[in-house]
Amino acid sequence: MNKLWHIGGEKSDDFVDTFTVGDDYLLDQVLLSYDVQASKVHAKMLLKMGTINKKEHEDLQKGLDEILALHKKGEFKILPEQEDCHTAIEQYLTEKCPEAGKKIHTFRSRNDQVLTALRLYMKHEFAQIQKLVMNLIKSLQKKAKKSEKIPMPGYTHYQKAMPTDCGTWFLSFADALEDNLSFLQSLKKTINQNPLGSGAGFGFQNFKIDRELTAKEMGFAKVQKNPLYCGFSRGYFEYLFLNNLAQIVIVFSRFASDLLLFSTQEFDFVKLPNSFVTGSSIMPQKKNPDTIEILQGKISSFLAKKQEIEGIILKLSSGYHREYQLIKKPFFEGIKIIKDCIQIVQIAVEELEFKENNLQQAMSDDLFATEKVYELVKKGMSFRDAYKKVKKELGF
């Protein structure tokens, strides 16, 4: 099968083709349903413009529904020579309804097609991630309420500092995630723009296409008007997406580090869920916190995906560049990692048990040194004199 853009008689190199296409045709299975959604809306706009007639519109809608049904059953294949889902969809439509199929690409480019499919994917994934985070916040708040009376030593520099409690510990993560949600709202506003109709990044200046119609039909808040900025947003929006989510994994990293410390035999403050620990092949006494360690590793992998995208888009000039293709894989993988991490933390929060006796025994007198200082301050002693007096009494 010839490529969509091939001129007759050209001969391509198989190795070069494989190198260039990579696994893009496989990754595009993720985007296929979103491209079908956008194509259905695009066909509706073409009908309104008079570019296609009613019968052609019906044929296109029927063909797109067939593609979606096949895709849901795992039976719609994208071939390497088709390069992407956009070409596979167009060629299927052209086979099923030749005249209508040859018109579906009017007033669009594969550039704005992939932008639109990615944008719809982002909106869908954003809604799922936001819901997962909100559920996690509720679980943290619920667990905090149940454990607010369990004392816990507070640490600075890994040294005992002042008394706190397990409820405050849980709430520190809930509060951090609530702040993250406010950052996510700005991300939601940014991605909620319709790039369809921007073509190859320069629009269709001599033709009036109804981008407001397609924006409304696909649920976008507005049209992303500047066509060159639409092209610029490829890769840039993916980077912004993962960069905003990076604030969440930083919270998770702190949570994981605490659990790894608190589950050591030296601390022994918490009991991790049984499903989170594994044994050793030679040391029968071992209970290793593998799941929390993998969580930490996944967080590092997520940050690497973000950095990979940044590295690809850095120093590119305006306009389309083929490097953008390489952004899909780290972006999709980054989304999966963050969703998996949220769900793992959710399980950890729900099933984590505190060893109250051990925590109580750890509440040594030195934790209350600052409190003793302020008791003296209440009696009229200056803070610095009280500080020196308590420090001397404690032998420090």
For the annotated catalytic residues, the residue numbers are 157, 280
Q: What is the CA radius of gyration of the chain?
A: 28
* Cα–Cα distance list, 349 to 143, 252, 265 (Å): 7, 11, 20
Size of the chain in residues:
396
SS3 call for 194: strand
Taking the C-alpha atoms of residue 171 and residue 19, their distance in angstroms, rounded to an integer, is: 49
Render 224-267 in DSSP notation, one character per residue: ---HHHHHHHHHHHHHHHHHHHHHHHHHHHHHHHHHHHHTSTTT
Where in the chain does DSSP place strands (E)? 151-156, 159-165, 193-194, 222-223, 270-271, 353-354
Query: What is the distance of C-alpha 339 from the center of its chain?
Result: 7
Residue with tokens 């403050």, as numbered in its chain: 269
Residue with tokens 């940014």, as numbered in its chain: 190
Taking the C-alpha atoms of residue 354 and residue 143, their distance in angstroms, rounded to an integer, is: 11
Taking the C-alpha atoms of residue 24 and residue 326, their distance in angstroms, rounded to an integer, is: 8
Identity at 276, one-letter amino acid code:
F
Taking the C-alpha atoms of residue 144 and residue 119, their distance in angstroms, rounded to an integer, is: 37
Nearest of 322, 353, 388 to residue 24 by alpha carbon: 322
SS3 call for 83: coil
Cα-based angle 329, 334, 335 (whole degrees, multiple of 5): 105
Q: Quick check: 78 and 29 in contact, CB under 8 A? A: yes
Token readout for 386 is 């009280």
**Which residues are CB-neighbours of 57 under 8 A, at least 6 positions away?**
43, 44, 46, 47, 100
Residue with tokens 């969703």, as numbered in its chain: 339
Identity at 157, one-letter amino acid code:
H
